Amino acid sequence: MAAPVADTAKSAHVEKKNKKKPVKRYWEVTEETGQKRQDQDNPDQTTSTKDTRPLKIKKTGQSQSWKNDPFPGEAPIPQKQLQKFQRGAKHKVPAGAHGKLKEAIVWSKTVSELAQKQAARYDLLLPEDAGFLEGDDDEDTCRISQEDIADAVDITSGSKYFNLHLTQFGPYRVDYSRTGRHLLLGGRRGHVACIDWQTKNLTCEMSVMETVNDVKWLHTEAMFAVAQKKWLYIYDSKGTELHCVKKFNDVLKMQFLPYHFLLATASATGFLQYLDVSVGKEIAAICTKMGRLDVMSQNPYNAVIHLGHPNGTVSLWSPNQKEPLIKMLCHRGAVRSLTVDKTGTYMVTSGLDRKLKVYDIRAFKPLHSYFLPAGASCLSLSQKGLLSASTGDVVQVYQNVWGGNPVSKPYMAHRVRGQVWGVAYCPFEDVLGIGHGQGFTSMIIPGAGEPNFDALDTNPYRSAKQRQEWEVKALLEKVQPELISLDPTQLSKVDQGSFEQRHKERVEVLGYDPLAKEKFKPRTKKKGRSSAGAIEKRKRKVAHEDQRDVIRQTVEERMEKEKQQKEKSSESKELSKKSALDRFRKQGK
Amino acid sequence: MAVVREQKEFSMDNEVISASEDEEGSDDERKHNKLLQAISSLGGKRRKNQTERSEASLQVSEFLVNAEGAGDKIALSDLLGTVEKTPGASKKTKKQLRNLQNRNETLQLPLNKEQTEKIQRGIAYEKSTQEVSRWQGIIVQNQKAEQLVFPLNQESSRPKPVEQIVAGWKAETPLEQEIFKLLNNNSQPIHDPVLTPIEEASLKAMSLEEANMRRAELQKARALQSYYEAKAKREKRIKSKKYHKIQKKAKRKEFVKQFEEMMKTDPTGALEELKKMEMSRMEERMSLKHQNSGKWAKSKAIMAKYDDSARKAMQEQLQVNKDLTQKMVTISDDEHETQEEESEAVPDFVNDVEPIVDAVNPWMRNRIPREEPEVICVTTEQPQTVEEEEEEEEEKNEEEELLADFQRKRALRQADEDDDLVPVPPAEEEIDNTGEVAREEVVGEDVVNISDSDDDNDDDEEDVSQFNTLFRLMSSEKAREAPAQTQEGREDEEQLLDEGHVRVRTVEDLEALGEAEEPQPSASANTSTPQTATSEPPAKKSKEIDLNAVLTKEAKAIKVPLMPAVVEDDEERDEQISIIKEAFAGDDVISDFLKDKRKQEEAGRPKVVDLTLPGWGEWGGVGLVPSRKKRKRFRIKMAPPPPRQDKKLPDVIISEKRSASVAAHQVCQLPFPFQNPKQFESCIRTPVGQTWNTQSTVRKMTTPKVVTTMGAIIEPLVREDYIKDKSSIPASKAPAIFLEDKSKGKDGKRMSKDKHKGKESKKRRKI
C-alpha cells in the first residue's frame, strides 16, 4: 500500500513506461556540498569506514586515535537540507547590547541553529521519492490507459485501479480520510457509503432518502458529516445518525479544518458557517452577500476558506472577520471550481470562461492562464502538486502547472462513464478518486501522493489504539479559531497597534469600558433630603465639581503654555535687543 | 587626653566616655564640697575637724592618715617631676611630656553620639559592601549558567578521566610501595609533570652574571632617582620669582622647539599638544589674569602717570596677555600661503565639470576673461585684505550662479528623460498594435488624465503638477491644437460620468469567448467609436486602477487528447444552460469589481469633519448658508491613511481591517531585555514543542534552569569554595567591629565548619 513498496515493484515490472528513480542515498547528497567525503569515488570504502569507526573508539582511549580519523567531527549537512528547515531570519547581536539582551539573542540563536541542524539530520529518515510516468520517445504519457498501467504494475498497485458501478443514485461526491485509508461516497440521490478502499471492506452503507449535496470526513474515520437537502447531519462509521445540526441549512459544500477541528460549510443562502466539531458549537456564521456558494476550498497552510462566486471573484474568509480578507477577480464568468496547494502558495481556479488560472496567493498575482476547450468543472491538487481537472466525463492530470514553462498538454487523462461530479486525491497514495454519474473510479496516478508520511500526524497504518491516542493529542493541540488569519506566523509577532486601538478592541470583547468613569448616582437619604430637588442639587454639585476640575486643568495648561511662550519671546527679545555696541561692553559685568 | 582623640577612630571604648564624665563629676564635687562647707559654716553644730596626728598612739586610725598637701590638686608637673628623676624613662618620652606640659591648647570636644555613630555606620557599611561584593562574580556566574544543579559541587556520576582515577590510586602491594618509595626519595615525578622539581628549579634559576648585572642596574636607577628627587626638592624651595620666571620662559622655549620637532615626527602627538595649547589659551581668555584688573594693576595704574617703570610693567602684563591669547600660528601658516599660491597657479574651475549645456551663451563657457579684469581693478584701489574678501565674494556669486545654472539644466535634462520615460499606458501599446488610433487622441487622453487627477487629493496633486510640466515640455509642439480637444475630452468625460455604467457584454462578446485569443474588451473600447468608449470612465476615475490591467493574463490553449463526449442527458444540459445564464445575468464583471473596490477605498478614507454651526457669528436662518470662510475654518481634515495594500493590484481587494482576534493573543509590550520587536521576534522564531523538533532539541530547549536532587540538603555557598582572594580570610577571622560576644561563639563555629569545607574543596582541587 505504501508508495515505496508500490514504486519499487513498479520499476521491476515495467521497464520504461513506469520508471522510477533509484533511491537517493545520503552519500549522494553529501557529495554536492563539496565536503571532505569522497565516498562517491569508492562506495566500498564508506561501508568499511562505517564499520570500523565504532571499533576504533572502543580500542583506544588515547587522543591519538582521533588524529587518524578520516572524517573528523560531525558529518556535514548539505546546505539544501539546512535551508529547508530554516525558520525566520537570524538577528545579529546589536553593537551596544547589554548583557541580558546579548544573552537572550545568543541563546535563541544557538537553540534555533541546533533545532535546524537536528531536523536536517533527521531528514535522512525520509528516504522515499515519488515516482512518475515516462513514455517512450514518441509516446504521450496521456495516451497510456489505466488498464495498461494496472497490468504493468504489481498486483497490489494494480488493484488500486477499479470501478464501482453505482448507476442508481446519481453522481457521487468523494472524500478520503486524512490518512488515506477510508473513502466516503455520497450519491446525489441519497446514497452514502464508507469503504476501506484498499481492502474493499464496506464499513457502512445507507440511503438517507434525501438529496446529498456533500460528504466530508471529520477528524477521524469514526465520524463524517453529510450535507443533505435541508440540514447538516453527522453520522458515525456504522451509519448511526449522531447529530442533525439545524443551524446549518441548505449546505452545498463543506471543508474540514483538521487542526482547528472546524467544519466550514457554504450554503445556498450565502452563509459561510463554522462548526467546532470538538465542542459542537457554531463558531461563526458569516453572511457573505455573494449569492449561492457552491465553490469552496481550504488553504491548508493557514486554514483560510476560499469561496468562488458567480461574478468571477474568489474571496478568502476567516471566521474572525465578517468581510472577506481578500477578494480577487479571477474570471470573466462564474468560478466553477478552485483548489489550493498544500504549501498555501498557489491557487488554481477554473471558470465558465473556460479558463484555468494559476495564482500565487502570497502576492495575489496570476502566474499562468490556460484555455481548456471545454472548461474544467472539478479541480483537485495532490500532495505532490499534480492537478486534476475534469471536463465533462474526462479527467485530465497536469504536472508542473506553476512551473516556469506553461503546460501544453496533460500528464495523464482518463475517460469515465458519466459526468464527473467529484475529484479527490488519496493522501499518501498514487491514487485519484473520481465520483461520477455512473459510480466511482479509482485511478492510478504515479507520483501523486507524498511518499513519506509523518506517523505522529497522519499514520496510514495506525491501529485503533494509536488512533485514540492521536485523537487525544490532537485535541490537546487544537488550534483556536481566533488564530486563523492570512499570516499564520502573526502570533509570533509583536502587536504594534496603538493603545487606543487595543482599548477599543478590549471594550468590544468585554462589552463595557473598564476604564470608563462611573456615573454619579446620588444616595437616597432620609428625612426628606432625597426629594427630587435635593437630588438634582446634589447631582449639580458633583457635576460642577467635575467641571471645575476640568477648567482648573485647562487653565493650568494654558498658563504653562503662556509662560513658555513668554520665556521664548523674552529670549528672542534679548537676542534682538543686542545692539552693535554691546560687543564693546566689558565681559566681566 | 590622647585617649579622647582616639575615640574618633575607635569608639567602642566606654572608658573614654566615663573619663569625660569623671571630669565633669569632679567639677560637680568641688561645687558640692563648697556647698557643704557653706552649710556647715552656717550650722550651729560644728563638725569635728579631722585633726592631724599629733602624738603617738597605739592604734592609728587609717582614716586619719593625711598626706602632705592632701587637699591640693595634683598638677601634671608634679607627676612629671618624678619622671625626670627616674633613670628608666627614655629621653623621648621625657621630651614628649615636656612638650605636653608646655602646650596650652584645650582639647577639642569629643564628637556627639549621633555623629560618632554615623561615622561608625559609614565605616561598617563600607566594610560590609566590600565583603558582600566579593560574591558578585559567583552570583553573576550562577545567574548566567544554563542550568544549576543543587546541591552544588556534586561529584558527577559520569565516568572520570583516567588521570583522575590514577591520581586517586594508592600503592598497596609491597612492590608498589617500594617503587613509589624509590620515586619519592629521588623526587621523581609520579604523575603528570615530566620534570623533577630540581630540574624545574634549575630552569628557573638565573646565572650569577646576570644577577649581578641586574643588581647593578637597580642600584644605579635607585641612585639616580634619589639625586633627581633631591634636586627637585631644592628647586622647589627657591623663592625667587625672577628665577621661576626665567625657568618658565626657558621651558616654554624648549617646548616650542620640541613641538616643532614633533610636527615632523609625530603629527598626532603634535595635534594633541596643539589642542592642549588651545585649551590653555582658552583658559587665559576666560580668566582675568594679565588683564590689568587686579589689585596690583590698579595700584600700578595710579602710579603709571608718573612712573615709567610702572607703565612698563603694565605694558608687559598686557603683552603677556596678548602672547598667551594669540592664536597658534605655526607652520600651517606657511602651508596656507603655498596652497594659496598653488590655487592661484591652477584656478578651481579647471577641475569643475565643463558646462556643456549653454551652447547659446558663450560667455558662460569660460569665466576667466570676465574674472581677471575685475580682480585687477580691485587691487588697484583697495588694500590687500579687503581685496581678498571681495574676491571670495565674487567667487561665491559666480559659484551660485553656476549652481543655479546647473540645476536648471538638470531639471531640463530630467524633463527630457522623463519624456522618454513617460509611461505609455498599456492601452496605448495595444492601440499601437492595432494601429488604428490617431496620435492626437492619445494626447488628448493624457490631458484628460491630468485634469482628472487635479480633482483628486492634494498629495496626488504634486505628482500631477510634475507630470503636467513634463507633459507640457514634451508636447509643446504636438499639443498646440490640443487644448480645444482636451476641453472636449473633459466634457465628454463628464457626460460619461453622469451616464453611469453601461453594459459592455453583448452577444458578440459571448461568442468571442470561444476564440483562443480573446480580444480585450478594453482594447475595443478604446477604438474611436464613442459608444464602446463607455467602459472607460470607471477605470479613469481612479488613477491607479487601469481597466486594461485587470485580467490581462493571456491564456494558453491546451490540447486535450480526449474530447468530452457530448452529454446527452437532458437534465444535465438544462442545468448547464441555467448556470451559464446565471453567470452572465449580471453585467460587466470587471466594472462591477472596480466599483466595489472604489467603494471600499472610499470607506477606508477618513472623512472631513465639519464643525460649522450656522448662526454663530453671522445671521442664520432658512436659505442662509454659513460663509465659505467659516466653513473652511471649521472643517477638520483628517490625515490620509497609509497607502492601501492593494494599491498596485488592480484586481484584488485586500481588507484593511485589523484582525483583533489574533491581536488579543499577541504580545503587545516588548518584554524586558529586548529593544525592538525584531529582536524579540527572532528570539521566538523557533517553536519549542515536540511537534516541530527532534527529541534531543526539545530536551535541550526545555532544560530547567534549576534542578534539585530529591532529598539532598542544599547548603549555603561556602566562601572558601568560590572566593579565591586570600586577603579576605584574615578579615573574616577578625571579628567585625560591632560583633558582640554572643555572636562570636556562633561565628567561631561557622568558621570551623568553613575551614573544614575549605579543606574538602582543596582536596577536590588537587584531584
Residue A410 and residue B560: Cβ atoms within 8 Å? Answer: yes
Residues B598/B544, Cβ–Cβ less than 8 Å: no
Q: What is the pLDDT averaged over residues B88-98? A: 82
Cβ–Cβ contact B679 with A under 8 A: yes
In terms of C-beta density within 10 A (0-12 exposed, 13-18 middle, 19 or more buried), how is residue B187 classed? exposed
Segments of chain A with pLDDT less than 50 = 1-19, 29-63, 65
Q: Does position B516 have pLDDT exceeding 50, yes or no?
A: no
Residue A77 vs residue B359, higher pLDDT: A77
For residue A501, which residues of chain B lie inside 8 Å, CB to CB? Answer: 658
Lowest mean pLDDT among A565-574, B155-164, B272-281: B155-164
Residue keyed to cell 436659505: B623
Q: Which residues 290-329 of chain B have a CB within 8 Å of chain A?
A: 293
For residue B655, which residues of chain A lie inside 8 Å, CB to CB? Answer: 321, 323-326
Per-residue confidence band for B96, with pLDDT thresholds at 50, 70 and 90: confident
Residues A224/A217, Cβ–Cβ less than 8 Å: yes
CA–CA dist A458, A217 (Å, integer): 14
Residue B336 vs residue B168, higher pLDDT: B168
Q: CA-based angle A269:A275:A280, to the nearest 5? A: 135
Residue B239 vs residue B410, higher pLDDT: B239
> What is the model's pLDDT at position B669?
86
Residue A483 and residue B668: Cβ atoms within 8 Å? Answer: no
Handedness of CA A557, A558, A560, A564 (dihedral sign): positive
Question: Which strands sit side by side in the sheet containing A201-207, from one edge to the other?
Answer: A172-176, A182-187, A191-196, A201-207
CA distance, residue A418 to nearest chain B CA (Å): 9
Residues A183/A176, Cβ–Cβ less than 8 Å: yes
Residue A101 and residue B667: Cβ atoms within 8 Å? Answer: no
Q: Kindly identify which residue of chain B lies nearest to residue A366, measuring between CA atoms.
A: B553
Residues A215/A173, Cβ–Cβ less than 8 Å: yes
Residue B665 and residue A491: Cβ atoms within 8 Å? Answer: yes
CA–CA dist A132, A504 (Å, integer): 56
pLDDT tens, residue by residue, B31-73: 888 888 888 777 655 555 555 556 666 766 667 666 666 666 7
Residue B700 vs residue B349, higher pLDDT: B700
Q: Does position B236 have pLDDT exceeding 60, yes or no?
A: yes
> What is the model's pLDDT at position B401?
62
Q: How far is CA A284 from CA A21, A249, A324, B150, B606, in A?
A: 48, 14, 14, 52, 29
Per-residue confidence band for B625, with pLDDT thresholds at 50, 70 and 90: confident
For residue A331, which residues of chain B lie inside 8 Å, CB to CB? Answer: 551, 589
Q: Which residues 452-481 of chain A have a CB within 8 Å of chain B?
A: 456-457, 477
Cell output for B285 = 581668555
Would you call the peptide bond into B151 cis, given omega within 30 degrees of 0 as the criterion? yes
> What is the model's pLDDT at position B49?
56
pLDDT tens, residue by residue, B565-602: 544 445 555 666 666 666 565 557 888 899 999 999 99
Most confident residue range from A164-173, B271-280, B289-298, B420-429: A164-173
- The single-letter code of the amino acid at B706 is V
Lowest mean pLDDT among A14-23, B49-58, B80-89, B510-519: B510-519
The secondary structure element, H or E, covering residue B15 is helix B14-42
What is the pTM assigned to this prediction? 0.56
Per-residue confidence band for B554, with pLDDT thresholds at 50, 70 and 90: confident
Cell output for A173 = 461526491
Burial pattern B423-457, b for ≥16 Cβ within 10 A else e, equals eebbbbebbeeeeebeeeebbbbbbbbbbbbeeee
> What is the model's pLDDT at position A207?
95
Nearest to B666 among A122, A437, A491 (CB): A491
Average pLDDT over all residues of chain B: 67
Nearest to A505 among B660, B679, B692 (CB): B660
pLDDT tens, residue by residue, B290-305: 888 888 888 888 888 8
Q: What is the ipTM of this complex?
A: 0.77
CA–CA dist A514, A228 (Å, integer): 46
The secondary structure element, H or E, covering residue B574 is helix B570-583
Q: Does position B338 have pLDDT exceeding 60, yes or no?
A: no
Alpha helices in B145-196 (DSSP H): 162-168, 174-185
Per-residue confidence band for B262, with pLDDT thresholds at 50, 70 and 90: confident
For residue A61, which residues of chain B lie inside 8 Å, CB to CB? Answer: 162
DSSP letters, B238-306, are: ---HHHHHHHHHHHHHHHHHHHHHHHHH-HHHHHHHHHHHHHHHHHHHHS-TTSS-SHHHHHHHHHHTT
Residue keyed to cell 570504502: A45
In terms of C-beta density within 10 A (0-12 exposed, 13-18 middle, 19 or more buried), how is residue A539 classed? middle
Strands B706-708 and B148-150: parallel
Residue B165 vs residue A548, higher pLDDT: A548
Selection from A176, A236, A262 nearest residue A478 by Cα: A262
> What is the model's pLDDT at position A388?
95
Q: Kindly identify which residue of chain B lies nearest to residue A396, measuring between CA atoms.
A: B560
Residue A88 vs residue B504, higher pLDDT: A88
Q: Which residues 81-110 of chain A have a CB within 8 Å of chain B?
A: 87-91, 94, 97-98, 100-101, 103-105, 108
Residues A185/A174, Cβ–Cβ less than 8 Å: yes
> What is the model's pLDDT at position B101?
79
Q: Does position B762 have pLDDT exceeding 50, yes or no?
A: no
Per-residue confidence band for B202, with pLDDT thresholds at 50, 70 and 90: confident
Q: Does position B373 have pLDDT exceeding 70, yes or no?
A: no
Nearest to A114 among B550, B660, B700 (CB): B700
